[in-house]
Structures are given as structure tokens and as C-alpha cells.
Structure 1
Amino acid sequence: MRRALPGLAASLIDAARVAMATRQRELHAFAHPSPDDVLLADAGRGVTIALFGIRPGFRLPLEGYYAFLALKNGVPVAYGGGWELFGTLDFAINIFASFRQGESALLATALLRVYRRIFAMRTIVVDRYQLGHESAEALQSGSFYFYHRLGFRPRDPGILRVLEAERAKIAADPGYRSPIPVLKRLAGDEVFLTLPGGDPEPEKRLRATDVAARVSRLVAREFGGDRARATRECAARVGRALGARRRAAWPAAERRAFAQLALVAALIPDLAAWPAADRRALVALMRAKGGGSERAYARRLDGHRRFRRGLTAAVRA
């Protein structure tokens, strides 16, 4: 994997935007890419994967995120993204209709290998929409079985029973195809691929949406819903607890990232009592969210076990 030189990065950003515009689609990362954080990976067989980090100021509040554009012999064939939080990657892929079948599985596995190099994730999740929940396109393409062949499995007991019954029908009649109503039931919950060291119960993982709900509750309860005031005061409070007192000298993007993540860190009541090394590591993590690469931020986030434990306890209290 290598970083794209400026001219190539600009060309890839243009290619991604054109690929979206001609199909009347849009992706946040393609609208606000960081030209300095465009990565390239050669997947073999003429496949190149371009990954796009997002500019500071437009990034997701907590997760690390890279979008991708996959090209076959220079022609865009798929797009999507992966966003990672504490070792779990949420993954989405859309292969353009004219390039489906054929090497779709090869492309998906190549993408997951690339994301593994970026995030070192241990669990991969595909959400319901990708499987066909409220997505006619995914239902018609048999998306559930596409991911099933790649090793993804549901954990919902009801869906597992439906899947077992369908697999028995397929074994008895190779020409059998699950009807749309059954595919809708199979798409009723997420599916997971657990890698070595992965969470044995990924459905119980800490989710960014859970953290966001707690932050909203904090802003409403302590600041009367005034988010700007909450951001200022939490940044000051967390800065004191962590010993980050010279933030005015930091780059603007790092100051902004620290302030935004301070709303999250403020959920943890005992920050000031943490060991000095953990407090320094959290400051570095928060600054990295506004740095040049989401990859560096995600690695710091995944490696800060005390922050993960504290945040999990605060959200589930």
C-alpha cells in the first residue's frame, strides 16, 4: 500500500466523484476527501483499490473511516467504505451493476485485506441495509448469500433458524432459490465475520450511536441543549483533567478535534485519576483525530484500552 502522489490523488478524487455523479449517487468521503490521505493498493488481476480519508472538520465524530473506489484495468467497478471503532469494522460495498457476478467475491476479499492492513480490525460487520433491509437492489442481487459465502454469519436465533431451513432446501434441490419474502427475513439483522482475537459477542459491542445518544443526553442535561457551550466547557474540563493546557499552540484542526472528542471523554468521570501515561495517550489520540491520517487515529483509538473500558462503562451505566 502506498500514498498517492498529489497529481494522482486529484485524478482519483475526480474519478470517484464522476462515478457517483453519473449514477446519481453521493458519498460523504468523496465530497470531502483529504488529498493528502489517498492510499493505493494493488490487489492483482488488474484491480486497484483507492482509499480516501476525509478532511479534518468533516470526519466522523468517533470512528476512523476510509471510503474506497475499486478499479479494474483503470475502470471504476465498485465503491463503498469501512468505518472502525475499537477493533470492529463496519463494511459496505456496492459493485456497479454491469460488473456484478464474475470476480465480485475476489474483489470483496481484496478490499477486506486492505482494510485489515489499515485498521487491523478483528471483527467485520455488514448492516441490514447491505443485506436487503429496505433495499430492493440488495434483495434482488441475493446480497445475503454473497456475504454468507464470504464467511459472514448472523447471530440472531430467529434468523439462524430461517437460514438452516433454507440451506436444507438448497441441499435437497440445487435449483432452489430463496424467495424475496425469505430474503427479507434473512436481512433482518447484521451479519458478522470474526477474525482471530475478535469479539465473541459482536452484537453486544459498543456502538458509536450509543455514545452519541449519551453525549446528547449530557448536552441536554448539563447545558440546556446548547451544544456550542457544551463543547467549549467540556474541552476546558477535559483539558484540565488530562493536563492539556497549551492547546492554543496546536494546529487548528487538532484543537477542533480535541474539542469535539472532549464531549465523548467528558462522559468518563475519573479522567483526572488515570495514570499519566494513559492521560497522555488520550491527548495524543484526540489530537490525531485532527491530524493528517485517519489511519494513525484509528490505531491509537484501538490501542487505548482504558479509554474503551471507561467509555463502555459510562455508556452502559
Structure 2
Amino acid sequence: MDPDPEFLFFYSLTLQTSLNGLALLLLLLCSALISGTEVAFFSLSQTDLNTLSKNGKKENIVVKLLSKPRKLLATILITNNFINILIVLLFASMAETLFSDYDNELNLYFFSFPVRFLLEIVLVTFLILLFGEVLPKVYASRNALLFSKKMAKFIHTTNILLTPFSLPLITLTKWIEKKLGSKNSNFSVEILSQALELTSEGATTKDEQKILEGIVNFGNTETVQIMKPRIDIFAISNDASYEVVLDKILKNGYSRNPVYKDNIDNIVGVLYAKDLLAHLNETDFKWLELVRAPFFVPENKKLD
């Protein structure tokens, strides 16, 4: 007696669905591990890295990978995106099979294409976000050290295999950062300035507030704003004796002292006070040997 055709349909459908379901679970697990790895590796503190560097080979792999963070991040992103694409394709195939077979056998024609498409997007997005992103990242952030050690060998192997793909991505990223670097810097300064304005009076004193504002605005300060008038400049003549040089530096207390020849408009170098420390006990030292070349900048140059 031949099997009932309806039974054969449901049997084949169940077998195919089970295999696809197992494959989907495996891909979700891989996505979870990779997403967790990203958080785990980049959540490690310097103390964690110092501890890892003193331990075994597996722990040293973590330190080695983090020594090139751009390449590590590129590897993780490429792997995770590849897995997520496979999840979407597999889920779409499963949904198409289920919907089409049920439509043909059970006459469920109310699943129109737009409804199916919207349902697929909602379900696959939910699966990837919950099981491939949120849950693993929460766990990895709380167990960063353990998670990173467990995934070290796999990520190290993947990092090597994906080098032909990660290097172009890194190059492109650096190029984009170079083009947008100045804009990002200005944006950061604006954000910090706004944060300082919102700081409550009880959180910082007026002096602290001024110091913080000075740090934030330092990069936008032009050279002309910090220049001293010519008559107030302290400089050393290049024909001064070592005894005179020491006496002037001690009295004025500057760490860097301009050196001029003939007149103060002709600066020939800069003498660092710290360079004289090794020669304090000498009476006749050729101090001009310690003079460093001057660095000239235009008045409108930014301090950063």
C-alpha cells in the first residue's frame, strides 16, 4: 500500500525545515559569538592586558590581536556581516518554502507577497538583534576576559584568512578619516564646550571651570594670541658666558630660552634649561653645543 501523498508532503517538509532550522540556529550561534567577541576584546582594560601578557600562549594571542585594533575590528565586522547575510538568505529560503507549500496544499492564499516580505523582515531582524547582537554583547561585556580568551584562537585564524579583505577596508577607513578628520575635531570641541556649559556649579569650582575651558579651546587658539610683546621677551645672546647664562635662566625660570645673534630679531636657536642640568658643576662649559634649532610658525597657525 502506497503512503498517503499528504503524509509524504508533511514528512519531507518537516525534514527540510528541521535541517534548515538547525543550520539557522548554528548561524545565529556564530553571529552571537562574533558579536560578543567585538565587545569582549575592546572592553579589556590595560590591567587585563598586563595580566594576559604574563600568562600562556592563548592569552598572548589576545594581546597580539589588540596590538592591531583596526585589523581586528575589520575582521570581526567582515565575519559578522557575512554570517548575517547567510542568516537572511537561509531564512528567506525557509519562508519561501513554507509559504509556497502551505499555499499550494492548504489553500492559504491570504499571504500576499508584501505581507510575506514584511513578515520575513520583522522576524529575521528580531532574531539577529536579540540572539545575534543584544544578548551576546550583554554577556560578553560582563565576562570580557573569559570570552576573549575562549575566542582568541578562532579570531586569530580568521584574522589571518581575511587579511586580503580587511587590509583594503582599513586603507579606505584611514582615507575617510583623513578627509573628515578636521570636521570630527571641531565637532568634538563643540560637544565638550556644551558639556562644560551644562556642568553644575557644585560639580566644579570656578578655577577648575576655567582650566577645563582652556583645555577645550586650546586647539582653536592661534599663535598670535599667546605671543609676548617684543620688549617683554627674555632671550640669551649667543656670546654670553656660561656663568651669565646660568644666572639668567635661574632668575627667569623659563624651561625654553630663545638664543639670538647680534639682536633679538635674529633668533638662532632655543636652549632647554633641562639640558644644562648635567653641567651645573662646570665653570666654563660650551653651552652653545646644547642649543636646538628654532621652529618658526606663522601668526595665524593653530596651536594644535
Query: Shared topology, TM-score over 0.5?
Result: no
Q: Name which structure has the greater RCO, CA cutoff 8 Å, separation 6+.
A: 2
Q: Greater helix percent: which structure?
A: 2
The structure with more radius of gyration:
2
TM-score, with length taken from structure 1: 0.19
Q: Greater strand percent: which structure?
A: 1
TM-score, with length taken from structure 2: 0.20
